[in-house]
Amino acid sequence: MSNRESMPYDVVIVGAGPAGLSAAIRLKQLANAAGAELSVCVLEKGSEVGAHILSGAVVDPKALDELLPDWREQGCPLAEVPVTDNQHWILSTTGKFAVPHFITPGFMHNTGTYTGSLGNMCRWLAGQAEELGVEIFPGFAAAEILFDESGAVLGVATGDMGVARDGTHKPDYTPGLELHAKYTFFAEGVRGHLSKEIIRTFDLAKDAQPQVYGLGIKELWDIPASSHVPGRVVHTQGWPLKETPGSNGGGFIYHQAGGQVAIGFVTWLSYTNPYLSPFQEMQRWKTHPEIAALLKGGKRVSYGARAISDGGLQSLPKLTFPGGVLVGDSAGFLNVPRIKGTHTAMKSGMMAAEAAFAAVQAGRAQDELVAYPEAFDASWVKKELSIVRNVVPLVEKFGERVGAALANATMWLESWGIKMPFTMKHHPNHESLWRKDQVKPIDYPKPDGVLTFDRLSSVFLSNTNHEEDQPVHLTLRDPNIPVEYDLPMFDEPAQRYCPAGVYEIVGQAEGDPKFVINAQNCVHCKTCDIKDPTQNINWVVPEGGGGPNYPNM
């Protein structure tokens, strides 16, 4: 028998990102319009709403227009900077080729979009939700799924607070709280800790392709006014990743409000060389003459990293299970070639909310909300994801030059209504690494502290903090694997794929290598959980409120 207190709600939502907040708002809109009582609670593991939100971001307002049509007049910070100039560069080592607009389909041109901080947009959405009567609890991490006697999801429990690293209770120990719900929405974002368990428990991915991912690393820079063009959006491909066979990805430069540019680099986690470091590739990308010139005289003010779901339509798991749903990037609704998932995530939350409201009004609970996937099948979200479903696998199979040309051709044909008679497959990212003796090590330049930086000074700018005396939230299924298998086989790639310096091998020169986990540095990007070659690392939630505190990301 649990000694935890419990609170009942009609709907509990795990995660205060765009999908979770949109779901909460839609639920209360429907209830208020119907004059019905409906209790809705949102749990957020970050110290505040937006603390763990990281995105480029260029946002298609399609879903926001549907949810809150007056958002531009209601103080939403996203409205400050509409996109006015869209460019796509193919980089060589020192030069660039600007791709003419007429080559790419119209939906790639960012017409009618806005650029800004997704974290600030979520803070604004949270205010809208609270005005409607939604209860939001930041600093409370959902740590456990609750099931009823039939096996349906009954809700979640928050993690215990005040547990020491050795598992003992500190003087300020507080047991977690159970939140019981008729329906539970999992809106945790990419590779959610509980969403993974839900997908496994109910075998939701049995008919889907493996989900594949990218790692996005982002910096905010204050730059001179002479270099700043509010609303300019640039995407890049080619150098530097083209220097390393078996790797793909690209960069972005978004001129946003307040004299800032958001710059970032995405490395697809399908790369094959275990010596590749996505963090170092991002630093190297900044040394390109075009990008270095933009940042000259500027100052880096923030840093963060986040995995991205790249699998698209064919990697979507089943969206429903008894007692709940997956929404947003917990399922994986990103449109990869557009590098946009906010609008699709929001719409998924809205569709799930409509299904849940109808079910609660009909007196139902803990069953499957089949109206949600039915709505998805008829929605613009599915149509949009279907058009681009072969882009990632084509580029991975045929390389950046030929693959990108084929992908562009399929997008044109699909956008004209000529549906390709095939849907290509994905391969899990953790299976892609070659042995270290099959590849060449990569010699990355040392950081200069002006344009390029090391990982620890970068993590400092993410405002990351975890209570030091708490259980390590990066757990190993077998503590021997990193030194006994990963080190001789791959030179332990966790040392390089982690963008926060969490993992290191010490004592190797003395012949006594040990695997060290610096959990305090973790920015919650989930890359280790995805890329670890034996799937030995399991990311679980730390104590609520721990992790990065992104101010404007």
Alpha-carbon gap, residue 90 to 100, rounded angstroms? 11
* Of the candidates 541, 520, 543, 521, the residue with the CA atom closest to the CA atom of residue 529: 541
**3-state secondary structure at position 8:** strand
Tell me if residue 306 is catalytic. Answer: yes
User: What does 66-79 look like in DSSP terms, one character per residue?
Assistant: HH-TTGGGTT-GGG
Extract the tokens encoding 379: 């929605």
Pairing state between β 249-255 and 232-238: antiparallel
What stretch of H or E contains 249?
A: strand 249-255
Q: How far is residue 193 from each of residues 121, 377, 440, 526, measured CA to CA in Å?
A: 24, 26, 34, 9
Alpha-carbon gap, residue 326 to 329, rounded angstroms? 8
* Of the candidates 414, 549, 412, 437, the residue with the CA atom closest to the CA atom of residue 491: 437
462, amino acid identity: S
| Per annotation, catalytic residue among 41, 76, 122, 525 | 525
| Per annotation, catalytic residue among 236, 338, 522, 527 | 522
Tell me if residue 41 is catalytic. Answer: no
Residues 6+ away with beta carbon under 8 Å from 410: 390, 391, 394, 420
Please give the angle made by the CA atoms of 434, 315 and 495, to the nearest 5 degrees: 35
Q: How far is residue 85 from each of residues 82, 111, 233, 292, measured CA to CA in Å?
A: 9, 9, 6, 20
Alpha-carbon gap, residue 243 to 265, rounded angstroms? 15
Alpha-carbon gap, residue 326 to 184, rounded angstroms? 9
Alpha-carbon gap, residue 510 to 506, rounded angstroms? 9
The residues that bridge with 12 in the sheet, in sequence order, are: 41, 184
Whether 22 and 332 have beta carbons less than 8 Å apart is answered as: no
Residues 6+ away with beta carbon under 8 Å from 266: 214, 215, 216, 217, 249, 250, 251, 252, 308, 339
| Per annotation, catalytic residue among 191, 284, 300, 306 | 306
Q: How far is residue 309 from each of residues 118, 317, 328, 330, 331, measured CA to CA in Å?
A: 17, 12, 10, 9, 9
What are φ and ψ of residue 145, in 5° steps? Answer: -90, 135
| Per annotation, catalytic residue among 39, 55, 158, 309 | 55
Cβ-count burial of 334 within 10 angstroms (0-12 exposed, 13-18 middle, 19+ buried)? buried
Tell me if residue 528 is catalytic. Answer: yes
476, amino acid identity: L
Pairing state between β 96-98 and 249-255: unpaired
| Per annotation, catalytic residue among 342, 344, 452, 527 | 342
| Per annotation, catalytic residue among 315, 330, 498, 527 | 498
Tell me if residue 330 is catalytic. Answer: no
* Of the candidates 144, 174, 139, 168, the residue with the CA atom closest to the CA atom of residue 469: 168
Give the max Cα distance, the chain.
71
Tell me if residue 93 is catalytic. Answer: no
- Which residues belong to the active site? 55, 306, 342, 498, 522, 525, 528
